[in-house]
A = this chain, B = another copy of it.
Amino acid sequence: MAPRTPIPLITVDLKKRPWEQEKPLHNRWHPDIPPVAEVKEGNLFRVETVDWTAGQIGDNDSAEDVKKVDLSQVHYLSGPIKVSDKDGVAAKPGDLLVVEICNLGALPGDEWGFTGTFDRDNGGGFLTDHFPEATKAIWQFEGIYAASRHIPGVRFPGIIHPGLIGTAPSQELLEIWNTRERGLVEAGEKAVTLGGVLHTRPLACLPTVEGACLGKVGKGAPDWERIAGEAARTVPGRENGGNCDIKNLTRGCKVYFPVFVEGANLSMGDMHFSQGDGEVSFCGAIEMSGFLEIKCDIIRGGMEQYLTPMGPTKLHVNPIFEIGPLEPRFSEWLVFEGISVDETGKQHYLDASVAYKRAVLNCIDYFSKFGYTKSQIYLLLSCCPCEGRISGIVDVPNACATLAVPIAIFDQDVRPKKGGPPVGPRLVKRGDVPRATYDGSAPTFKNPCGCC
């Protein structure tokens, strides 16, 4: 008979630091970070994770912790997990690792999460030019629902998912990453002033020994410096999956990951109770600790069978996701549109990022007419189950992006009506989110990730 209960593969103690955990966490991608656990295909197992900052943000009414968060340390991941087939033969480079998410949720006793915006000089976000201050909202979970004392009048069911899950890169893939991202940083200023839209944020987070945490490779280990010096940051999604922030990757979904190293070395973390498409505020979803119950399968040789590399090597591939029938059904949506004309009136050429920015700004302005501050809505859009679509990407010169928000998350009817919004702005006093003053200093371009 199969075991009745998921194998408790990795547990975390929220009172301990990441490197003190029984199975130490890691916050970098590197092939030489050894597995902390091993599992066979077909077995259901359970992995617990800390929140992505490992406890830097508190359940309180101040945004100072968000303002001063140490971004060199993120994201703390559970794993790597080595996966073998039923005969005990490890997954091999070229295989596909099938990861089925059978269940996931908050850790008992830790049923809360946070959403924030970073300070413009320490992290920023999609709209950092408009919202340069650090802010924070705390969410309380009531079973499937989240509600916030900082954004009253909204409540929604979470589509819980891991923001970050992926396999370990090979040394070759790691070097590709470092080369191309370094190229971008070096191209530098020119690129970032394009459109003037996103210019105050770091271009990329290059490897940095500062803040590195390498799992079983302790700080005194002979290889520590080398690995920390070349290990990739976990910030962006890449060929191995990673920080894809796909908001629908929830119960009943599968991911088909490329395998780059023996054993696949699967890691995961950055659990989100809920996220909006784009995770616009960057600090961003409803961030929480949590658990996953997972089953793995191996498709031998699946990379060649199913994935097609694009670029100079065979490694330029992306995982495939399979979404199941278990999302909440919302039946009515308000949809905000943006075109690739930026908020100064300037025309851009088929730029979906600019179009999406406009859609988000339009949406923030709209809902702020119903008694909310714009900061409240910015945080809300980052974490509620809203959908960001690329609606048109060919009609020169305007890309058209849309942002759809389910009407049912509000406790009032937010549709346009004859006569206008209920009684002018701020009808209901809905308070505000905690803020930490923005210093106003010129953008420093200091990489808050600590890499330069």
Contact = CB atoms under 8 A, between A and B. Distances in A.
A39 interface: no
A337 B148 CA distance: 32
A142 B295 contact: yes
Interface in A142-196: 142-145, 149, 157, 176, 180-181, 183-184, 191-192, 194
Contacts of A343: 310-311, 316
B395 A144 contact: no
Interface string A184-220: 1000000110100010011111000000000000000
Contacts of A329: 325-327, 329, 331
B337 A244 contact: yes
Interface string A283-320: 01000000001010101111001111011110011111
Contact of A1 (B59, B278, B392, B404): B59
A344 interface: yes
Contacts of A248: 335
Nearest to A243: B395
Interface string A232-245: 00011111000111
A243 B198 CA distance: 27
A237 B339 contact: yes
Given A157-B252, A246-B391, A278-B392, A318 B347 contact: no
A21 interface: no
A394 B295 CA distance: 30
Contact of A416 (B59, B176, B306, B401): B306
A246 B142 contact: no
B245 A299 contact: no
B389 A349 contact: no
B331 A183 contact: no
A322 B415 CA distance: 8
Interface in A100-151: 101-104, 108-112, 125-126, 140, 142-145, 149
Given A308-B366, A391-B245, A408-B331, A184 B349 contact: yes
A351 interface: yes
A341 B308 CA distance: 15
B145 A395 contact: no
A396 B143 contact: no
A365 interface: yes
Contacts of A222: none
A443 B238 CA distance: 33
A89 interface: no
B392 A4 contact: no
Q: Copy number of this protein in the oligomer?
A: 4
Nearest to A391: B246
A369 B331 contact: no
A402 interface: yes
Interface string A362-401: 1001100100000000000000000111111111111111
A331 B336 contact: no
Given A180-B346, A311-B343, A320 B332 contact: no
14 contacts: A1-B149, A44-B142, A157-B325, A180-B347, A183-B347, A246-B402, A301-B420, A318-B358, A320-B416, A321-B334, A322-B333, A323-B334, A328-B331, A356-B390
Given A243-B392, A307-B365, A308-B362, 6 more contacts: A4-B140, A244-B337, A246-B400, A305-B416, A306-B366, A331-B408
Which 7 pairs between the two chains have the least Cβ-Cβ distance? A102-B143, A103-B143, A311-B345, A236-B398, A308-B365, A305-B420, A321-B335
Interface of A: 1-2, 4-6, 44, 59, 96, 98, 101-104, 108-112, 125-126, 140, 142-145, 149, 157, 176, 180-181, 183-184, 191-192, 194, 198, 201-205, 235-239, 243-248, 251-252, 256, 277-282, 284, 293, 295, 297, 299-302, 305-308, 310-313, 316-339, 341, 343-353, 356, 358-359, 361-362, 365-366, 369, 387-402, 404, 408, 415-421
